[in-house]
Amino acid sequence: MTKPNDDTILDHEAPQKKPMSLAGKAGVFTLSRAVTIITQLLAGVVLSHVLTKEANALVSYLVLTLYATALAFGQLGLPDSVFFFFEKMPAPNRKAFTLMLAKLLGILALAAGAIMLIIGWLAAEKDGYAELRTLIWAMMAMLLLELPTTPMPNVLIALDRAKTAAWFNVFTGLAQFMAMTIPLLLPDPVTAIPIGLLLYSTLRFAISAIIFQKLFKTEPRLTLPKGTIREVLRYSIPLSLAQIFWMLNKQLDKQVVQWLLPNTVFAVYQYGAMELPIIPTIAYTVSAVMMTQLVGHHLRGEREALLGLWYKSVQKVSVIVLPLVMIFLVAAEEFIALLLPESYADAVIPFRIYTLILLQRVASYSNMQKALGSTAPITHSAILLFVINAALSVPLALWLGMAGPPLAALFANIFSLWYALRNIQQLLKISFKEVFPFRFYFKALGVAAVAAVPVLLLKTTVDLPRYIDFFLLAACYLPIYLILARVSGIIEDSDWQRLTRKLGKG
């Protein structure tokens, strides 16, 4: 099969209306997701500096652990079904489909809230957590308001409203930040934060209702075909199971280190054992924006066009993600020193290994499988990822200390990548070498690695000022990479012109 070579795949503009290009939509939505992630991280930083450790532990458990877990599990994969079914069903049915999802998620919110109440009530027995029994009611009400609105960004993207979806994400991030930080000015911030978050969810629900009304104001409310709910659940439940195992997988290494290694090691480890969240977001948001096109090509049997869009998205994301990952690999020590005290310097060990995992985050492999209507293998992959990680973490932790569990995660993720690509290959009935633009990817990786060599030499030979050394190394790396990428053809003419035009405007 010949790989399509259409540079307009991500940049097509209809001449009559000149809509935002697919690349533009991806950029806007990625930026909005970055704003949301940064504000959430900043909220945690602010809480850690203002609240006592005991108060911060209570709020973090309530908001970041108990509520976030209930919100993730309560979705049951339903928001992800929007792209597939919006493209599959007639346009007049989309209003009824969106309402159906909201109702299902409202029912799930009741169930998730009940489970959250039970867990929180039991957790309140632990010293310092007694207030949970009072605060959890506000969070349960928040769940009832927020969970039914979770499909809204996907609905907007599916209806070609990526810019509105981006603004919705920006609102979400900023409103959550204010809901968690403004109460810090009050006499009892621990009680005020859940109330602030409840006000946020009320506002989110109201804005979602207004958006829904504007999107579908001219559409009649039709009855969906019999069996639609069953079909949707058959599609989405495997995704929810995959999400459960992905969440368990993220916590596995922390539990292993906490049980097998000294407490002082765990205190350091937990700060370094992370994938930088903004980098995977790039591939996810680009894939989300493309979902309707991917689904459409699949349903129409347009395999060449589908592969062309898939190749081009991987290429575009690789050009951005691989140099970012390389910066954090080279300057890992400087980045950790920028964030943490000197006593936490060993956090660089798990951090650098987790950063290696990011080299494969140039595509959302699960979204590609969703577009092809295959969700069960996503669950199988998540289970295998967890099992392999669990099997390797303990022996590697006993052998290599804090470097062991991250290496287990790295090996498990490599297998998960192969498993996902093999499934896509089988679904498309192509050879394995056709399922991914391997040649371009390794060329881009080589360019990113070569650009790091002079920066690594600078780091090892020059004593750079602390706290700005990370920024200096990044500032040296980027122009070298851009020059090499341009010379090697990794950055195409259209991309280079777009970049220089934006820099000129800046």
Domain residue extents for the chain: 20-225, 238-506
The answer on pLDDT for 5 being more than 60 is no
Interhelix angle 348-357/404-428, rounded to 10 degrees, is 10
pLDDT at 23: 54
At 472, is the secondary structure helix, strand, or coil? Answer: helix
The pLDDT of 181-198, averaged and rounded, is: 92
Q: Which residue has the higher pLDDT, 157 or 15?
A: 157
In this predicted structure, which of 195-204, 223-232, 384-393 has the lowest mean pLDDT?
A: 223-232
Question: In the prediction, which pLDDT does 457 show?
Answer: 94
Determine the pLDDT at residue 336: 87
Would you state the pLDDT for residue 14?
38
Pair 25, 163: CB distance under 8 Å: yes
Give the phi and the psi of residue 496 in degrees, each rounded to 5.
Answer: -65, -40
On the 0-12 / 13-18 / 19+ scale of CB atoms within 10 A, 371 is buried
Q: How confident is the model at residue 367 (pLDDT cuts 50, 70, 90)?
A: confident
Query: d(Cα 419, Cα 242) in Å, to the nearest integer?
Result: 14
Give long-range contacts, CB 8 A cutoff, 24+ apart: 187-191. Answer: 189/50, 189/51, 189/55, 190/51, 190/55, 190/58, 190/59, 190/131, 190/135, 191/131, 191/134, 191/135
What does pLDDT average to over the chain?
85
For 251, 322, 379, the CA distances from 408, given in Å and listed in that order, are: 13, 22, 20
Say yes or no to pLDDT of 19 above 60: no
Question: What's the mean pLDDT in 178-189?
Answer: 92
Q: What is the pTM of this model?
A: 0.72
Q: How far apart are CA 181 and CA 47, in angstroms?
A: 7
For residue 499, name the pLDDT band (cuts at 50, 70, 90).
Answer: low
- What 3-state DSSP class applies to 19? coil
* Range from 98-102, 226-230, 270-274, 403-407 carrying the lowest mean pLDDT: 270-274
Average pLDDT score over residue span 41-47: 74
- Measured CA to CA, the distance from residue 384 to residue 388 in angstroms comes to 6
Q: Are 367 and 227 in contact (CB under 8 A)?
A: no
Q: Give the pLDDT mean for 210-236.
A: 87
Question: What pLDDT is attached to residue 495?
Answer: 66
Lowest-pLDDT choice from 67-71, 111-115, 137-141, 391-395: 67-71
Distance (Å, whole) CA 364 – CA 283: 6
What is the per-residue pLDDT for 25?
A: 57
How much of the chain, in percent, has pLDDT values that exceed 90?
A: 45
DSSP 21: P
pLDDT score of 276: 81
Asked if 77 and 239 count as a contact pair (C-beta separation under 8 A), the reply is: yes
- Does residue 365 or residue 278 have the better pLDDT? 365
